[in-house]
A and B are shown apart, each in its own frame.
Chain A
Amino acid sequence: MSQLLQEIEARIAGAKTAARRQNVGVVREVGDGVVRIEGLDDAMLNEMLDFGNGVMGIALNLEETEVGAILLGDFTSVREGHEVRTTGKVLQVPVGKALLGRVVDVLGRPLDGKGPIQADTFYPVEKIAPGIIKRRSVNQPVQTGIMAIDAMIPIGRGQRELIIGDRSTGKTTIAIDTIINNARLNRAAEQAGDTSYRPLYCIYVAIGQKQSSIARIISVLEEHGAMPYTIVVVASASDAATNQYLAPFAGCAMGEWFMDNGMDALIVYDDLSKHAVAYRQVSLVLKRPSGREAYPGDIFYLHSRLLERAARLNENYGNGSLTALPIIETQLGDVSAYIPTNVISITDGQIYLETDLFYQGVRPAISVGLSVSRVGSSAQIKAMKQVAARIKGELAQFRELAAFAQFGSDLDAVTQAKIERGKRIVEVFKQEQYRPIPVEIQVAVLWTVQNGFMDDVPVERIKEFQAKLVDYLTTRKADLLARILREKALSDASVAELKAAVSDFKQTWH
């Protein structure tokens, strides 16, 4: 026993009580979630600052005599004269699979009441994007389950595809459909024990949205069983502009963890227009010089450095990927506004949604002429390429010819046929929300319309025909669909069988 006491005494005697050096400053000005601090000579850019009482901030402006910082969390307790300390750390968020199925704020703190998150890894919110040595070109598809997108504007893993359109045109729905479809694919692969399938984990970042909208999205994801593969990062309209500014970067850090660990992830930024507005607010309060539309000069860099972090890594660096689906809301269809043109030029393509189409009942209201995917076609599966290669052209031709047809002039038979085919393609691409279509069914349906099997079906009955055909194929020709999915191509044997199946179906359909 005495030996133990001696040991304790020796430990106490040996304990160092040296004072630690801290860098401190004093709050000189506070307002709108932004503070100006005197002192803090050693503060680093983007360093976390401790205001006491659990309030943290980030140093954004390092000036000669003061530091401009943004506050995170409840900052109402911060007063002039408060002492601020540097922490020596840049802003970090928890990352890893423990976050899947959770709703978190910009600091990775749970908002869903499901208890603490057991994450042992942290990633900095601001990180340099992977360089060219680490990257490879896109070669694997992201199956959105939306036929119009998978056929005409395919997205590859590691791509950045912008979803752009006016308010209430279905931008968020496309992103949610994609998340739901990938959750379905992940679950199916898990249940089948398919280890070759690479699951796609999703991160949904809500920026400046109404709490009610966010709650609705979460309930849709839960309803469709997508939450176990999804992380929701929330910076709602009632959160400070600083939180809204940081949210996409925090979500991106969570996605990067999957990419760095050889997995695939998809991140949705909903939406970057509000993000730009939040950043403008922060910059103006920080008294940074303003430029066009009062946005700061680095607004392009803000979005480019965020979206550049989406990448497809090569085999030497783990083969992971991070796909980005940023969303931009336009005003009265003006795609040539400042922020939309910025983000269009950064991304690898855009899905443009039109209000007119939406109200005509064409949903998803994708404008084929203005939508493009610059790299995704190389990731499309062969079967889809075989059936969808000409569809975009045919649809664009149809739109032009349909405009002519409105004048009521006589049309030749070829033009008539093109218009009739176009009408049927438009009908086939109409799709209900939250009802993604598996790729093998998409291939079968597109093959049917492409080969004229729907030409004699009245346009108003196309959806009915499609539904019954899908029903017929899934119940009676499941082997054929499974083979298309397995082979990822339409072999001669598959084509022959599909032809026979569709012919058989047409005999029974009336």
Chain B
Amino acid sequence: MVSTRQIRRDAKRLYRACLVQGRLDPDRVRQAMDLVLSEKPRGYLRLLVHFQRLVKLDLQRRTAQVESAVVLGDDLRSQLGEKVHQRYGPGLFWEYRVQPELIAGLRLRVGSDVYDASVLGRLRELAESFE
């Protein structure tokens, strides 16, 4: 039985091997998966689970999620993309969602940074200030 620590270490090595210029390369990820599944080293399923988690966290860090009360127009999207690009650099994946419960405004999330400019967020802040 391979120890969890060893599995984590191997998963991290595999993940690092998939980075090209500091960014995750999808082709390399697929190649790594194929290699592990064909070689089937001891504890390979646990290894792949850890590897998947590292890839998921990497993708989360590089994903910009935009939630808005209504569908955003193209010009607003491009303005937003430009501003986010200035701060976080290129290569972000974009996800747009419509969330009517925001009432108005939008909420942007890049990695663990959240910019909440929605009415719902403001109301929540106001409510917390009274607690």
Contacts and interface: CB of A to CB of B under 8 A. Distances in A.
Interface of A: 17-25, 38-42, 54, 65, 85
B112 A41 contact: yes
B131 A22 contact: no
A42 B114 CA distance: 12
Nearest to B118: A19
B92 to A, nearest CB: 15
A38 B57 contact: yes
Contacts of A21: 113-115
A23 B114 contact: yes
Interface in B80-114: 108-109, 111-114
8 contacts: A19-B121, A20-B115, A22-B116, A24-B113, A39-B112, A41-B111, A42-B112, A65-B54
Contacts of A54: 131
A21 to B, nearest CB: 6
Given A38-B57, A41-B112, 4 more contacts: A19-B108, A39-B60, A41-B61, A65-B57
Contact of A24 (B57, B114, B117, B131): B114
A88 B16 CA distance: 31
Contacts of B60: 38-39
A21 B88 CA distance: 13
B116 A20 contact: yes
Given A54-B131, A65-B54, A65-B57, A19 B117 contact: yes
A31 to B, nearest CB: 18
A12 B70 CA distance: 25
B7 to A, nearest CB: 14
Given A19-B117, A65-B57, A40 B112 contact: yes
A217 B120 CA distance: 48
Contacts of B115: 19-22
A22 B114 contact: yes
A24 B124 CA distance: 15
A19 B57 contact: no
A73 B111 CA distance: 29
A24 B54 contact: no
A330 B60 CA distance: 51
Across the A-B interface, the 3 shortest Cβ-Cβ residue pairs: A19-B117, A39-B112, A19-B115
A21 B87 CA distance: 12
A22 B114 CA distance: 5
B114 to A, nearest CB: 5
B116 A19 contact: yes
A25 B113 contact: no
A22 B57 contact: no
Contacts of B114: 21-24, 85
Nearest to B58: A65
B72 to A, nearest CB: 15
Interface string B36-73: 00000000000000000110010011000000000000
A39 B111 contact: yes
A25 B117 contact: no
A280 B110 CA distance: 36
Nearest to B109: A24
A23 B112 CA distance: 5
A39 B61 CA distance: 9
A21 B113 CA distance: 6
Contacts of A38: 57, 60
Contacts of A40: 112
A338 B48 CA distance: 42
B70 to A, nearest CB: 17
Contacts of A19: 108, 115-117, 121
Contacts of B117: 17-19
Contacts of B116: 19-20, 22
Contacts of B113: 21-24, 41-42
Contacts of A18: 117
A292 B113 CA distance: 40
Nearest to A23: B112
Contacts of B108: 19
Contacts of A85: 114
A365 to B, nearest CB: 49
A41 B53 CA distance: 16
A54 B60 CA distance: 27
A22 B116 CA distance: 8
Interface in B2-59: 53-54, 57
